Amino acid sequence: MKKIIFVLIMSVCLFGCEKILTRFPEDQLTSDNFYTSLADYNKGLTGCYKTLQAIYNDNDITAYGEDMSDDTREPGFAAWSDPFKMFLKTNSNSISGIWSNDYRMIYNCNAFLDVLTKYSPKNAVETAEVKAMEGEAHFLRALAYFNLVRFYGDVPMVTKTFATPSDSYGLGRTLVAKIYSDVIIPDINLAVAQCYQKGAAPLKGQEARATSGAALYFLSKAYLQQGDYTNAQTALKKLIEDKQGGTFSLMTTYADVFDVNKKYNAESILEAGFSIASGQPSNFYAHIGVDIATVMNVRNIVTNTIMGSCNLLSDFTASGEKDRFVATVDSGKVSYAVPPLQPFRQKFAPKYADYVKYLNTKTDYNYMIARYADALLMYAECLWKAGNNAGALQYINQVRTRAKMPALSANTTIDIDLILHERRMELTFEGQRYFDLVRTGRAIAVISKFLRTKVGTDSPPANNPDIAPEQLLLPIPVSEIQKDPTLVQNPGY
């Protein structure tokens, strides 16, 4: 009897059940069943925005956009005097972060748009919210492509998610013009139509979301990058005069634009958010170098990713804009420096910073991707191009006077160099200079000259040849070409 009971007990052990084989992550949600309410979709949209932190980090777009211009140089490279030299050996030096992070944002937006279509709004408010979300996802996707075409030229066009890895091979590169006409412009137009305006009630507490104003700004920027001044002017008129994207205005004090306590201010168009308390501090400050240290014969500590060039500083000094320099760039003393007085960047940097503290904790500063002053200067450029000198001066002077500079007189003759100078002074280190030089066709001349001109103790070789036109684009990451040989490398690399 005992034996039978025992055998029965043991037999229970034999009833295995396939159920135990079905395991799903216990500390992660799955995308199949997560999205139910609009609040869930908002979290998915937040995920799309979060990629901005990776794109506008301290050593990809923000660094290389600067290093390729005549505003900064990269102290880490021995070959600093030729910023393009570092890209020559594509195997080791191609910049993949810009590529992969922008495509990551494109993927996130595509994936989000996939799930968003499954939601049916229950009322008008929800309909507006769903439309805004759709617009914002399209906007972010367009922004990513805009970054990609400006850095790499033709790129693969991806507007849906891939089911299997093999679907992703063999796409090749799509012409820049087609990326603009098929993705960037339609996406931004959708965003212009569907996003909330700046200051709209649903954006309260979520000011980082893209507005129709941000869409108009990038619409004009995209047109301008293609040399289409007419369409750019139309978009900027809607933004500045018609206030179709909501109300924007210049901050009274220049430094307030970047003030850590005045995020999403009246001048802000788009920001990437950072915060120490949330465990998402900005590294940017720690990687911006001391700019005029070399002018003052002070050796700096070479740990920065980007460093202001003497060439830039001479532009401030030569054009008598020292006041503007103080208002926009100089942040005063830095205690660690030897001697302790050392100019530092105003933007994104706390005043009288304790270097050690901020090197350890990083900072709370948001990265300003787009701001109204840039829109005004672009509008001025469009107006000048359209022959409206007075209109152009009006907007240039708005920006100048805010930066403690005297207004230009009404009879000032505007040319592209003046516009570029104003933009360089106002938007120093904000990732605009290089693309301005490229779109105005001045890049090769200006940068080549910069590479030959001795300013301060910078001593580049005087006989450096002009940079080659193909060097205006970055090489496509070699690791990508190795994975898919249909991706043809940019010429010259």
- Is residue 483 within the footprint of other proteins (CB under 8 A)? yes
Residue 22, C-beta contacts closer than 8 angstroms, at least 6 positions apart = none
Question: Is 433 within 8 Å of 423 (Cβ atoms)?
Answer: yes
Q: Is 23 in the site for other proteins (CB under 8 A)?
A: yes
Q: According to the binding rule CB under 8 A, does residue 480 interact with other proteins? A: yes
Binding to other proteins (CB under 8 A): which residues in 245-284?
263-264, 273-281
Name the minimum Å distance from CB 446 to other proteins.
Answer: 20
Residue 444 interacts with other proteins (CB under 8 A): yes or no: no
- Taking CA atoms, 458 is separated from 25, 81, 86, 415, 468, in Å, by 56, 8, 18, 29, 22
Characterise 170 by phi-psi region: left (phi > 0), alpha (psi -120 to 50), beta (else).
Answer: left
Q: For residues 209 and 402, which CB has a smaller minimum distance to other proteins in the complex?
A: 209
| The one-letter amino acid at 94 | S
Alpha helices in 362-486 (DSSP H): 372-385, 389-402, 416-426, 433-439, 443-452, 478-483
Note whether 294 binds other proteins by CB under 8 A.
yes
Q: β-strand 307-308 against 268-272: which pairing, if any?
A: unpaired
Q: 223 vs 264, which CB is nearer to other proteins?
A: 264
| β-strands 367-371, 72-73 pairing | unpaired
Residue 263 vs residues 1, 55, 202, 205, 428: alpha-carbon distances, Å: 81, 19, 18, 12, 19
Q: Of the ranges 213-221, 223-231, 439-447, 480-488, which one interacts with other proteins (CB under 8 A)?
A: 480-488
Touching other proteins, residues 119-178 (CB under 8 A): 156, 158, 161-162, 165-166, 168-169, 171
Stretch of residues binding other proteins (CB under 8 A), selected from 94-102, 137-145, 191-199, 384-392: 94-102
Secondary structure of residue 167 in the 3-state scheme: helix
Q: Which of 160, 178, 299, 449 binds other proteins (CB under 8 A)?
A: 299
| Residue 233: strand, helix, or coil | helix
Q: Which of 68, 95, 106, 214 binds other proteins (CB under 8 A)?
A: 106
Position 36 contacts other proteins (CB under 8 A) = no
Minimum Å gap between C-beta 2 and other proteins is 7
Cis bond before residue 461 (omega within 30° of 0): no
Give the sign of the dihedral formed by CA 141, CA 146, CA 147, CA 151. Answer: positive
**Which of 69, 108, 225, 311 forms a contact with other proteins (CB under 8 A)?**
108
Considering the complex, state which of residue 220 and residue 477 has its C-beta at the smaller distance from other proteins: 477
Nearer to other proteins, 27 or 241 (CB): 27
Question: Does residue number 352 form part of the binding site for other proteins (CB under 8 A)?
Answer: no
332 or 456: CB nearest other proteins: 456
Least distance (Å) between residue 139 CB and other proteins? 15
State both tokens at 213.
């104003």
**Min separation Cβ 9 and other proteins, Å:** 9
Among 205, 339, 340, 387, binds other proteins (CB under 8 A): 205
Give the whole-angstrom CA distance, residue 337 versus residue 147.
36
Is residue 20 close enough to count as binding other proteins by CB under 8 A? Answer: yes
Burial environment of residue 295 by CB neighbours within 10 A (0 to 12, 13 to 18, 19 or more): middle
Please report whether residue 201 would count as binding other proteins according to CB under 8 A. no
Site for other proteins in 45-84 (CB under 8 A): 46-51, 53, 78-81
Yes or no: say if 345 and 246 are a contact pair by the CB < 8 Å rule: no
Contact 81, 451 (CB under 8 A): yes
User: Of 299-307, 376-384, 397-405, 426-434, which part binds other proteins (CB under 8 A)?
Assistant: 299-307
Of 471, 446, 449, nearest in space to 458 by CA: 449
Residues 393-422 interacting with other proteins (rule: CB under 8 A) = none
Nearest approach, Cβ of residue 338 and other proteins (Å): 7
Length of the chain: 493
Of these, 1, 5, 8, 32, which contacts other proteins (CB under 8 A)? Answer: 32
